Amino acid sequence: MKQYRIDELRPGDYEKIKTHLDERFGSSHREGVYWVSLDPDLMDQVQAAHVDCQPFYFAVVLELSVISFELLIRTRNRMRCDCIHYANKAQRDSIIRFADTIFDELKILT
C-alpha cells in the first residue's frame, strides 16, 4: 500500500490527533481508521464519470506511534472499479497538505 506515513508520535500527540480526527470525521467500524472525502474538484476523468461510485475517499489510519495517510483513492460503494486507484499528483499533494495541516493546527512538531 502506498501511503504518506509519519512515525514516532508521542503519546500526547496521539491523543491530540485522535481527538481532532474523532471530532471531524467520527469513527469507523475499525478503531483508528478515518475516511476523508476527496475534494470533488480533484477527481480525475474516470472518477468524475462514475457518478454511482461517488463520493471518493482516502483512509487515515492512526496507531499509537504512527499515522498513515493512504494514497489509494476509493469509494465506499464498491470493492472493485476502474475509478479506484492510487492518487494522481494533485490528489497526492492534497493528501500531504491535509496531513501537514493537522500537524500545524495542533502545533505538533514532526
Split at pLDDT 50, 70, 90, the class of 26 is confident
Q: How far apart are CA 26 and CA 18, in angstroms?
A: 10
Give per-residue pLDDT as tens, 56-90.
999 999 999 999 999 999 998 888 999 999 999 99
Q: What is the mean pLDDT of residues 9-14?
A: 93
Q: Enumerate the domain spans of the chain.
A: 3-105
For residues 85 and 72, the answer to whether their CB atoms sit within 8 Å is yes
Record the pTM.
0.91
For residues 63 and 8, the answer to whether their CB atoms sit within 8 Å is no
